[in-house]
Amino acid sequence: QKEVEQNSGPLSVPEGAIASLNCTYSDRGSQSFFWYRQYSGKSPELIMSIYSNGDKEDGRFTAQLNKASQYVSLLIRDSQPSDSATYLCAATNAGGTSYGKLTFGQGTILTVHP
């Protein structure tokens, strides 16, 4: 079982719609969760971090965390073609020396079509 799992997609949504990206994790010791966006041939760009249960909103992005279900999601409202990218979910464990290590999912490819 992969530690962090994402549906690889591709997920295709029309411009202006809400894109919903999902992620599950297997390590109950995971404490911090991150969403990165990666354009083809570029490096990952941090877009959201979330540490406690519930929702966290930043502009058009909302991250949701449910530790009981070991589930993290990212909603992108009013999707734009420029949002087309691979979205990476990552988790880190707060314990021991592994707290520095980000474990990434395989990424979900999002395509927003005009």
Decide: is 98 part of the binding site for other proteins (CB under 8 A): yes
Angstrom distance (rounded) from CA 12 to CA 110: 6
Pick from 102, 108, 112: nearest CA to 22: 108
Decide: is 97 part of the binding site for other proteins (CB under 8 A): yes
Decide: is 34 part of the binding site for other proteins (CB under 8 A): yes
- To the nearest whole angstrom, how small is the minimum distance from the Cβ of residue 59 to other proteins? 17
Burial pattern 82-93, b for ≥16 Cβ within 10 A else e, equals: ebbbbbbbbbbb
Size of the site for other proteins (CB under 8 A): 24
Count other C-beta atoms under 10 Å from residue 36's C-beta: 20
- To the nearest whole angstrom, how small is the minimum distance from the Cβ of residue 79 to other proteins? 23
- To the nearest whole angstrom, how small is the minimum distance from the Cβ of residue 38 to other proteins? 9
- To the nearest whole angstrom, how small is the minimum distance from the Cβ of residue 18 to other proteins? 25
Q: What are phi and psi of 83, to 5 degrees?
A: -80, -10
The identity of residue 75, as a single letter, is: L
Site residues, other proteins (CB under 8 A): 32, 34, 36, 42-46, 49, 51, 88, 90, 92, 97-107
